[in-house]
Amino acid sequence: MHAESTPPTPPTESRRAFLKISAAAGTGILIAGCQMTGKEDHEKEGDEEGEKVTPGEDLMQEHGVLKRILLVYGEGIRRIDANEEMPPEALQNAAKLVRSFVEEYHEKNEEKYIFPEFERAKKLVDLVEVLKTQHLAGRDVTAQILNLSQPDRFRSKENRNKLVKACGNFIRMYRPHESREDTVCSRHCEQF
């Protein structure tokens, strides 16, 4: 090891930086993504060669925001369980991003442009029904997280335990949810 090397960042500092970076990255994607309003907006330029990005490809790429939110929720669970410092605003902001970007933008576009194509083609109809049901259930869990991460509610140990459970439920449902959309659904989107 060189004498001039920088000492490693303490784990708490790296996690704090992670939360800040995740929130900033998600906000940037939210601002850019919310400018899109219709199906024609999803027919964006792909690479330098001018390939079009299909609505299915575009929506599946947006799952990066959801994956980062799942990481924030997971870190929140870990910190609360370990009785470490956990600013409730981190979970509150993540849940607000879920509400505005994932639910009100991304899922609405899936429900408007992607799922009807599967239903018309009579493909993956059972899976589409499960995904729509999960969207509804996710909205309920997000409401719980928004409520329980309010600073005054967060002070109660009982509410923190409920918040851990809600974040865990969200992670357990949305990890396989987005994986199915990224693999099974996106593979079939090419046919539309």
CATH code at position 173: 1.20.120.520
Query: What's the whole-number average pLDDT of the chain?
Result: 79
Tokens of 182: 């990224």
Residue 3 in any domain: the answer is no
Residue 36 in any domain: the answer is no
Helix-, strand-, coil-residue percentages of the chain, each rounded to 5: 75, 0, 20
Please say whether the beta carbons of 125 and 118 come within 8 A.
yes
Is 90 exceeded by the pLDDT of residue 23?
no
Task: Give tens-digit pLDDT for 5-16.
Answer: 444 444 555 445
Q: What is the pLDDT of residue 131?
A: 95
Identify the domain containing residue 84 by its residue range.
51-189
Q: Which amino acid is at 59?
A: L
Residue 145 in any domain: the answer is yes
**Integer CA distances (angstroms), 113 to 23, 42, 65, 76, 185, in order:** 28, 10, 20, 33, 13
Q: What is the pLDDT of residue 38?
A: 40
Residue 151 in any domain: the answer is yes
Q: Which of 2-16, 47-61, 71-85, 128-142 has the lowest mean pLDDT?
A: 2-16
Please say whether the beta carbons of 129 and 118 come within 8 A.
no
In 3D space, the residue among 124, 117, 130, 109 whose CA is nearest the CA of residue 174 turns out to be 130
Residue 126 in any domain: the answer is yes
What domain count does the chain have?
Answer: 1
- How far is it, in rounded angstroms, from Cα 46 to Cα 61? 12
Residue 38 in any domain: the answer is no
Rg, Å, the chain Cα set: 19
User: Quick one: average pLDDT of 179-185?
Assistant: 83
Q: Which of 63-67, 80-84, 138-142, 166-170 has the lowest mean pLDDT?
A: 63-67
Residue 146 in any domain: the answer is yes
Task: Give tens-digit pLDDT for 81-134.
Answer: 999 999 999 999 999 999 999 999 999 988 998 899 999 999 999 999 999 999
Higher-pLDDT residue of 29, 67: 67
User: Quick one: average pLDDT of 170-176?
Assistant: 96
Residue 156 in any domain: the answer is yes
Q: What is the pLDDT of residue 107?
A: 93
In 3D space, the residue among 117, 108, 134 whose CA is nearest the CA of residue 186 turns out to be 117
